[in-house]
Structure 1
Amino acid sequence: MADTLTARQGDTLDGLIWRERGLGIEDCPAVLAANPGLASLGPTLPAGTAVTIPAISAPALPVRDIVQLWS
């Protein structure tokens, strides 16, 4: 399911998708493909720009072993 985000003043694409959906730079190509002409707006998106986010699942958090120093 696609979702639409709205850029705030000073937003970059990677900053917007990180803040709103927890997506990383590796997801930018999929977002750009879903938004023809978005790249032509430049590195900083104009405030109010609607950005469609395709169905991309956020990355799972890394699993870390727990080290117990005292029992």
Structure 2
Amino acid sequence: MTDITERVTVEGDGLTISLIVWRRFHRAMPGLVERIYAMNPGLAAHGATLPLGTSFLLPVPAPDPAPDPAQVLAPIRLW
């Protein structure tokens, strides 16, 4: 599966890439900030906080597949 990309435009003061990622996905996304900088050359030149109107591509990873019920093991009870 390939990732989908979204065009994001900064519309608030004091926003960072990591904060935008957190607000978009509501969870930690290891390696995504680095992928964003790799996909958007020159984005790091803006500094830690992005100026208003900055636009960049945000990769949206495919959702994790649900676990197969046949592979989920029953808990072991010791008592």
TM over 0.5: yes
1:26, CA displacement in angstroms?
2.6
Structure 2: gaps of 5 or more residues: 66-79
- Alignment pair present for 1:4 and 2:7: yes
The count of corresponding residues between Structure 1 and Structure 2 is: 60
Larger radius of gyration: 2
1:12, CA displacement in angstroms?
0.5
Give the whole-Å Cα distance in 2 for the aligned partners of 1:21 and 1:52.
15
% same residue: 30
Q: Which of 48, 54, 63 is matched with 2:59 structurally?
A: 54
Partner of 1:20: 24
Write out the 4+ residue segments of structure 1 that deviate beyond 6 Å after TM superposition.
none
CA contact (8 A) 1:9 1:47 kept: yes
Partner of 1:67: none
RMSD: 2.2
Give the partner amino acid of 1:43: A
- Alignment pair present for 1:37 and 2:42: yes
Give the whole-Å Cα distance in 1 for the aligned partners of 2:20 and 2:59.
14
1:3, CA displacement in angstroms?
0.5
TM-score, reference length from structure 2: 0.62
TM-score, reference length from structure 1: 0.67
